[in-house]
Amino acid sequence: MTTLQLTPLPAGALLKRYAATGAYTDCYGAELPGAFTLADFMAAFYTSPVFKVERWLLSRLPRFRATDREAVLLARGELAAFSAWTVEAREPQQALLAAGRTRSWLMVSPSPTHRGVTALYFGSAVLPRKRGGLGWQFTALLGFHKLYSRWLLGSALKRMIRTHAKG
């Protein structure tokens, strides 16, 4: 499996709009052999075993319940809201979702270095509070956030590999 790594935001990334505003931003990337679409990536991401734990926790609140079918509809661009997230912006190769002060971003593109390989990116932003700063809670959980981001992307990649092998 491809190595996940912290990487700079690629050119044209929708998440860049937050990078210069005092928000925390990050970007993790990996490459997979084959041609994958944003819909493939989003469906795998939001139906992955790791993300399903987050969905289960959020489903304790009735308005944040979400199903695999809804995840697929979101991935296809047929839903504008999913659990706690709403689509803030979407282009053919990337999507930016908002939930409160957080943003989640997914992007696919042909690998800049390998033919027949898709580059997959997952990033997030945490916007500063109105009073300024990100807050001690975010700072205290930053290590977990970074680890969790890698788990999320890794889980989606494994799901994509399994799905691609079946197809």
Domain assignments of the chain as residue spans, ordered by start: 5-166
SS3 label, residue 55: helix
**CATH number of the 5-166 domain:** 3.30.530
SS percent in the chain: helix, strand, coil, step 5? 40, 30, 35
- 65-121: per-residue pLDDT in tens? 778 898 899 899 999 998 888 999 999 999 999 998 899 999 999 988 888 999 999
- How many Cα atoms sit within 13 Å of 87 on the Cβ side? 18
Beta strands in 47-93 (DSSP E): 81-82, 85-91
- For residue 63, what is the DSSP state? G
- 18-75: per-residue pLDDT in tens? 988 888 999 999 999 999 999 999 999 999 988 887 777 767 666 777 788 988 998 9
**Euclidean distance between CA atoms 39 and 37, whole angstroms:** 5
131's CB contacts (< 8 A; 6+ apart) are none
Query: φ and ψ at 62, to 5 degrees?
Result: -50, -35
**Euclidean distance between CA atoms 163 and 157, whole angstroms:** 10
pTM of the complete model: 0.89
Kind of pairing between the strands at 24-33 and 117-126: antiparallel
